[in-house]
Amino acid sequence: MRNASITLNSAALTHNLNQVIKKIPKKTKILAMVKADAYGHGVKHCLPSLQQADALGVACFDEAKQIRSLGWQKGIVLIEGVFSQQEWAESIEAECQSIVHHQYQVQWALEKLPTSDSASRTMWLKLNTGMNRLGFEPKEIVAVAKTLVDAGYNLILTSHFANADCPDHPSNANQIKIFTDTLTALRDQVDSNIKASLCNSAGIINFPECHFDWVRPGIMLYGSTPLEGISAQELQLQPVMTFAASLMAIHNIAAGASVGYGSRFVANRPMVKGIVSIGYGDGYPRVVDGSAWVTVTPQVKNTASDSTEPETVVSYKCPVIGRVAMDMIAIDLTEVPNPTVGCKVVLWGDPDQSEPSVDEIANSAHTLGYELLCRVTQRPTRVVI
């Protein structure tokens, strides 16, 4: 069988959630973001480790329905709100909470009011504080809030940072000021019970004074860094995903031989080259530059079978060479003693185990860990440990 796998470490997910819990005040609740199938991990595999979260955040109603069908009974928040009046009605049935970021959603909310005991009576009111993606402007939001509160809704004011990963960026202070000023105005003029939520992962780490009533961690739960220049390891986050495959062929090639599509890689010396059963069809990025590497762990032959000493496992860092294909990549095995077909190759996993982190490979692909995690496909087998 072709060997390409995604191993999910439940203990790491629990650990990362606990890292969030440690950073926030006791009264602050956690909306764990599980959009895009839990950042590519598979939400059904992640739910058991997220039981301590107060609610789960998704991008669309289909994702919410899936989570309900998996038995999640606590809150679900549609972070882009509903996309039709029909969906608004269905989201009430499913006891979801919605963001309201636009007038058309206010209209639907006014036309159909959830019962007073329904979770859907709480609305997340989106304020544009400067990201300029979604949300009401500060000058219009008081009127919107008043309409919703008068109709019987409870509100959570929410907004999103544009640059939370760079704490010194001047937009952060601006956004925080607009958010807190607006919150004060709403509490003074509309409803003193209005709650607030501002921080994603980077905000949780960089702006502890802004945790308010709800935080919304995403990427940090999965053990990839939300910050530029600070690794997940330094933040004491553990990678949840290990992306691995195995060696399916080994060849000696001569100096001057080229490898793969476009003959892009040319050996400058005699080399040992390995082919690994993984490619962009599994989610390994085709666009990696020459800096991408994998960890190869040769199978240790048990020569002294009477020995009770555990074998020490040595692994080797091997560069990815040539173009990434749909199903295969080539690697340089020259430095690996006795590589064998079938031995394990880790594409990204745990830097504590000398494996590349997803963030390191994301660097080689000129993107973020977020994108690589979301883009793993359904083809690799998923194993939960």
Give me the least distance between CB of 214 and ligand PLP, in Å please.
10
Give me the least distance between CB of 321 and ligand PLP, in Å please.
32
Looking at 29, 35, 126, 344, which residue is catalytic?
35
Q: Does 79 sit near ligand PLP (CB under 6 A)?
A: yes
Taking alpha carbons only, the member of 333, 365, 335 closest to residue 243 is 365
Q: Does 56 sit near ligand PLP (CB under 6 A)?
A: no
Q: Does 219 sit near ligand PLP (CB under 6 A)?
A: yes
Q: Is 21 exposed, middle or buried (0-12, 13-18, 19+ CB in 10 A)?
A: middle
Q: Does 217 sit near ligand PLP (CB under 6 A)?
A: yes
DSSP H helices, the chain, are 10-23, 35-39, 43-46, 61-69, 85-93, 103-111, 138-151, 170-189, 201-206, 358-364, 369-374
Closer to ligand PLP by CB, 33 or 288: give it: 33
Give me the least distance between CB of 169 and ligand PLP, in Å please.
15
Q: Are strands 316-321 and 271-276 parallel, antiparallel or unpaired?
A: unpaired
Q: Does 345 sit near ligand PLP (CB under 6 A)?
A: no
Among 226, 283, 339, 349, binds ligand PLP (CB under 6 A): 226
Stretch that binds ligand PLP, among 45-53, 197-205, 270-278, 321-329 (CB under 6 A): 197-205
Closer to ligand PLP by CB, 220 or 278: give it: 220
Contact present, 372 and 293 (Cβ < 8 Å)? no
The C-alpha angle 332, 334, 335, rounded to 5 degrees, equals: 110
Taking alpha carbons only, the member of 350, 61, 382 closest to residue 222 is 350
Using CB under 6 A, count the residues that bind ligand PLP. 12
Q: Between the CA atoms of 274, 279, 284 and 287, what dihedral angle is there, to the nearest 10 degrees?
A: 90
Contacts of ligand PLP in 243-272 (CB under 6 A): none
Contact present, 209 and 198 (Cβ < 8 Å)? no
User: Cα–Cα distance between 103 and 125 in angstroms, integer?
Assistant: 11
Q: Does 201 sit near ligand PLP (CB under 6 A)?
A: yes
The sign of the dihedral angle between the CA atoms of 257, 260, 264, 268 is negative
Q: Is 60 exposed, middle or buried (0-12, 13-18, 19+ CB in 10 A)?
A: middle
35 catalytic residue (yes or no) = yes
Among 29, 45, 160, 273, binds ligand PLP (CB under 6 A): 160
Stretch that binds ligand PLP, among 18-26, 63-71, 100-108, 210-218 (CB under 6 A): 210-218
Q: Does 218 sit near ligand PLP (CB under 6 A)?
A: yes
Cα 75 to chain centroid distance, Å, stands at 20
Stretch that binds ligand PLP, among 1-9, 173-181, 199-207, 360-368 (CB under 6 A): 199-207
Among 101, 216, 273, 344, binds ligand PLP (CB under 6 A): 216
Instruction: Give the three-state DSSP class for 28.
Output: coil
User: Cα–Cα distance between 188 and 149 in angstroms, integer?
Assistant: 13
Closer to ligand PLP by CB, 226 or 349: give it: 226
Ranked by CB distance to ligand PLP, the top (closest) residue is: 218
**Sequence-ordered list of residues with C-beta below 8 angstroms from that of 222, at least 6 positions apart, any chain:** 13, 16, 38, 39, 41, 239, 240, 241, 373
Stretch that binds ligand PLP, among 22-30, 194-202, 285-293, 314-322 (CB under 6 A): 194-202
280 catalytic residue (yes or no) = no
Stretch that binds ligand PLP, among 11-19, 215-223, 298-306, 318-326 (CB under 6 A): 215-223
Among 200, 277, 297, 315, binds ligand PLP (CB under 6 A): 200
- Which single residue is written with the structure tokens 């001057």? 256
Closer to ligand PLP by CB, 226 or 351: give it: 226
Stretch that binds ligand PLP, among 18-26, 211-219, 276-284, 318-326 (CB under 6 A): 211-219
> Among all residues, which ones are annotated catalytic?
35, 261
Q: Which residues form the interface with ligand PLP (CB under 6 A)?
A: 33, 35, 79, 160, 200-202, 216-219, 226
